Structure 1
Amino acid sequence: MGMRSRMEAIISSIVLVHPHEISALIHSASCFFFILSAYFVILPLRDEGAISLGLNNLPGLFVGSLLLTLVAAPLSTLIFSLPNLSKARALVLIHRFFSVSLLVFFILWHASSSSQLRSVSKVSDPHSPSSENGKENISSDSPSNSAGWGNHGWFYIVVRISLFLWVALLNLVTISSTWARIIDVMDSESGSRLFGFIGAGATLGQLFGSLFAASMAWLGSFLLLFSALLMELAAQSSKGISHDAHHDPVELSTTGREDIQDQHTDSKEEMSALVESSPKSPAHSVKPQLFVVLEGLWLIISSTYLLYLSLFLWLSAVVSSFFYFQKVTIIATTVTSPLARRRSFALINSFIAVFILAGQLTLTCRILMNLDKLAYYSHYVVTGE
């Protein structure tokens, strides 16, 4: 109990949090920490496997990941909308499903690597001078073999492609599902205070996963096992993302209480007006899960703010994809060892995480505070209230 009190005191000194929110805040931040750690632990292994298939095939892999996410994202939304499955349980199942899938990929990766070594050893002449170099000529990741997948077996190619697509899917589904659960637990007022702390947990996860992958790059495919363990820890952490059953509304501090209540009153009035103005058909009330995706798409189309936000995310993805191709091309042409490639990818991800964390601690908070002040003054000038 003493340790819990000290932890609550430390968190309260960092972020403005009420006692009934601490449990959900800790579990949310830790869940994102484990998700991002698991993702960045296996990201160098995925990228190194993609290089072994040839740089010319990277655009095709990106298109494949896009098509896969277009199919899988609505499915994950459908799972969350099932009436006979709680969202808390659905989130645990999603994280655990990806944890088990990484164990399967560990087995497939080893099996494909062994079959690749056997096929290359059969083709190579045991009496030729080149075969005396052992692993260097057998390695399927040498620069000569990185030009394409013609020198690889079909099993090797399928496993590398599948892992590339699956890791992208893992990143999208787990993060979006966790945010959906957090939004259900926290209201807009608590989210404005606590989302920054939760995001810092995700950045720390990126930093930890990248540093671990850089220092343990020699583990190779065994990084998949550690990533699977992290995903299971994320599943366990997600169980704590819930409302506090012992929440007492009197816990809120008197400072700003009236403003918060006014905000909630306005929000309830707006929500009730929206509910009353939108008729529900009997089919929609019986099978709401079939229309969740289309309903979300309609909300985006009907909102100028969401359209601009979607455009921003699209442009961000385009820019990040461009720099990703440049990064992979430079490493593929300058680094020949698979171990050195994995370490290089992980170190780059570590530096990126450090810059993101520094920005979150120094700039993001101030920018958001200034934006809040600007929004308040704009509202005052327009409405006079």
Structure 2
Amino acid sequence: MHAMPAAQPPDSQAYAMPLRLLRRLVEVRPGEAAALLAGFAYFFCLLCGYYLLRPLRDALGLAGGPGQLQWLFTATFIVMLLLVPVFGLLTQRWPPRRFVAVIYRFFALNMLVFGALFALGVQELAVARVFFVWISVYNLFVVSIFWSVLAEHFSSEQGRRLFGFIAAGGTAGALLGPALAALLSGMGVAWLAVLAALLLELALQCCRWLQRMAPGSGQAMRRRQPLGGDVLAGARLIVREPYLRGIVAYLLLHSFASTFLYFEQGRIVAASLADTAARTRLFASADLAVSCLSLLLQVAVTGRLLRRFGVMAGLLLLPAAGMAAFAAIAFWPTLVVLVAAQSLRRAVDYALSRPAREVLFTVLSREAKYKAKSVIETVVYRGGDALSGWLAAMAASAGVGFGGVALLWLAPSAGWATLSAWLARRQERLAAAGIEQAGIEPGAAIAPAIRSPDEKPTA
């Protein structure tokens, strides 16, 4: 027997037309529409609030000069290290519904504090640096939690069909966020912070809607239980499971490529534009271009690509786009080429590779979906940022130009593509073995996972 779908609104003429339109955009099946729309709205509010503040972050990151970026990346990594045990403690004691609310409201309060500091003009350079670090931490934590919630409530097969459309909700928010920032910039940063905090609260309410409406309601009692374990369980899962270590390696290579490109972006922008306002406008315009292209790809391409060619296609596109961006900027290091290359690479990441990467987590245990995933996407990702930031600074001090770095990146790109293929094949085998929702126990490799005593098979 199949699990009963979550409660849906009764059929009526009021729902018929929107559902027909939705089914033209995405392959949604009976019992999935409410959860799909909840996920879309959740990600929309989350990224709209973040993108209200992101252009300001990128501009303030250059306030002390591009030579200070590696220090900011290192500080972000240290803060991540300090926060991961705190996150582990929260997941140990509370179920996701509770700890997600605590974390989101904590960050919303932080936004209001920063808004007040900017409005009062308190220690502007110091606050700008702290803000850069804080928003880098905030973004990774809240987005990682979002995808963990999705991985818990959707299967691998559903993820291939639906994650692209849900990601489009985030892209729509990323489109509206910079537009609102430009429209309301005359009101001051404090009001932007207030609006961002309100959007984060709306995201939390959409998260709760998703948790109520998602398929698999037969597991609702288990989902109300704390994750248990201990504060460092996520790190131990990564050490013991080859599949998770492969995801770590993929994210590290992604982080290295992104950071080297970000540093070159900082150098070119700092040399081309003198004031913070002009830099903020450039970054906002680039974000707008990325969001438009991402939305087009997510609605028209992502779901069809992942259904037809599998996760491998989405994973492979990111190393290819990264190498293309390296080559373009190395040969033509101008502001126009920089914006075009970075926009295309980021659009491929957000629209195609990120949904494919998140499908990798759907075959993990509930604990790994939150704890191991959080470690990977916070500490590992920002650790890669910090390490690659110092490598970029060392390369610059040694006289190795960006063209030389692009040539050196050829071999890692080939390894990245090989790793992408391995991860995709491994995910497909794990999904086919029927261990979704059951989880991967340490050392289980591809064999069916051992369920915990209180975990029942899906009906």
Give TM-score, length-normalised by structure 2: 0.58
Gap change, CA 1:5 and 1:369, over 3 Å in 2: closer
2:92–2:228 contact (8 Å) kept in structure 1: yes
C-alpha distance in 2 between matches for 1:9 and 1:24: 16
1:371 pairs with 309, 318, 328, which one? 309
- Report the Cα offset of residue 333 of structure 1: 2.8
Alignment of 1:130-145 (within 5 A): none
The aligned counterpart of 2:286 is: 348
Q: Note the C-alpha offset of 1:32.
A: 1.0
User: How many residues are matched?
Assistant: 298
- Deviation for aligned residue 1:346: 0.6
Aligned to 2:124: 156
Instruction: Find the counterpart in structure 1 of residue 143 from structure 2.
Output: 175
2:205 aligns to what SS in structure 1?
Answer: helix
Match status 1:66 vs 2:77 = yes
- 1:190 equivalenced with 2:158 (yes/no): yes
* Alpha-carbon separation, structure 2, partners of 1:194 and 1:4: 20
Structure 2 equivalent of residue 99 of structure 1: 108
How far apart in 2 are the matches of 1:212 and 1:332?
Answer: 25
* Counterparts of 1:6 and 1:88, CA distance in 2: 32
The 5 Å alignment of 1:250-269 reads: none
Give deviations 1:225-268, integer Å, cap 9, x for gaps: 2222221221221120214499899xxxxxxxxxxxxxxxxxxx
Please list, as runs of the form range in 1=range in 2, the aligned pairs for 1:181-330 lying within 5 A after superposition.
181-221=149-189, 222-244=191-213, 289-291=228-230, 293-294=232-233, 296-330=234-268
Q: Tell me the alpha carbon deviations over residues 200-222 of structure 1, each in whole angstroms, 9 at most, x when there is no partner.
A: 21222222223333454444413
Give the whole-Å Cα distance in 2 for the aligned partners of 1:88 and 1:101.
21
With normalisation by structure 1, the TM-score equals 0.68
Change (3 A) 1:346 1:359: same
Q: Structure 1 residues 98 and 315 mapped into 2: Cα distance closer, same or farther (>3 Å)?
A: same
Query: Highest CA radius of gyration, 1 or 2?
Result: 1
CA RMSD in angstroms comes to 3.1
Compared CA separation, residues 74 and 216, structure 1 to 2 (3 A)? same
* Structure-2 change in CA distance of 1:373 and 1:299 (3 Å): closer
1:334 Cα deviation (Å)?
2.4
Q: Does the aligned pair in 2 maintain the 1:92–1:239 contact within 8 Å?
A: no
Take 1:370 and 1:165, find their aligned partners in 2: how far apart are those partners? 40
What does the per-residue CA deviation read over 1:314-369, in whole Å, with 9 as the maximum and x for residues that have no partner? 11111111222222333333223332221111101111222333333454334423
Amino acid at match of 1:344: L
Instruction: State the partner residue of 2:223.
Output: none
What is the distance in 1 between the residues matched to 2:84 and 2:127? 22
In structure 2, stretches of 5+ residues that fail to align are 1-11, 219-225, 313-424, 434-459
Is contact 1:48–1:341 with CA below 8 Å preserved after alignment? yes
Paired residues of 2:46 and 2:203 also in contact (CA < 8 A): yes
Q: 1:42 to 1:63 in 2, by over 3 A?
A: same
- TM-fit CA distance, 1:17: 2.3
Cα displacement (A) at 1:164: 0.9
User: Aligned match of 1:22 in 14, 19, 33?
Assistant: 33
Letter in 2 for 1:310: V
CA distance in 2, matches of 1:325, 1:373: 30
Runs of at least 4 residues off by over 6 Å = 245-249, 373-376
> Which segment drifts farther, 225-234 or 68-77?
68-77
Residues 41 and 209, structure 1, Cα contact 8 Å, conserved in 2: yes
Q: CA deviation at 1:304?
A: 3.0
- Are 2:283 and 1:357 aligned? no
Equivalent residue number for residue 86 of structure 2 = 75
- Contact 1:76–1:173 (CA under 8 A) maintained in structure 2: no
1:59 counterpart letter in structure 2: Q
Looking at structure 2, the residues matched to 328 and 2 of structure 1 have their Cα atoms a distance apart, in angstroms, of 53
Is 2:107–2:138's contact at 8 Å kept on the other side of the alignment?
yes
User: Residue 86 of structure 1 corresponds to which residue in structure 2?
Assistant: 95
CA gap of 1:326–1:6, structure 2 versus 1, over 3 A, is: same
Q: Distance in 2 between matches of 1:289 and 1:323?
A: 39
C-alpha displacement of 1:5: 4.5
Q: Distance in 2 between matches of 1:160 and 1:204?
A: 27
Partners of 2:271 and 2:98 lie apart in 1 by: 46
2:175–2:292 CA contact under 8 A, matched in 1: yes
Comparing 218-227 with 232-241, which one deviates more in the overlay? 218-227
Match of 1:336 in 2: 274
Change (3 A) 1:165 1:48: same
- Cα pair distance change 1:334/1:179, threshold 3 Å: same
**Residue identity (%):** 30
Aligned to 1:134: none
Distance in 1, Cα, partners of 2:215 & 2:301: 36
Q: Quote the Cα distance in structure 2 between the aligned partners of 1:33 and 1:357.
A: 12
Residue 205 of structure 2 aligns to which amino acid in structure 1? Answer: Q
Q: Offset of 1:40 from its aligned partner?
A: 1.4
The residue number in structure 1 matching 2:63 is 52
Structure 1: tracts of 5 or more residues without a match: 116-154, 250-286
Which region of structure 1 is more displaced relative to structure 2, 236-245 or 309-318?
A: 236-245
Higher relative contact order (Cα pairs below 8 Å, separated by 6+ residues): 1
In the aligned structure 2, how far is the partner of 1:2 from the partner of 1:77? Answer: 47
The SS at the match of 1:81 is helix
Q: 2: distance between equivalents of 1:66 and 1:305?
A: 24
Paired residue type of 1:41: L
SS of match in other structure, 1:20: coil
Change (3 A) 1:65 1:246: closer
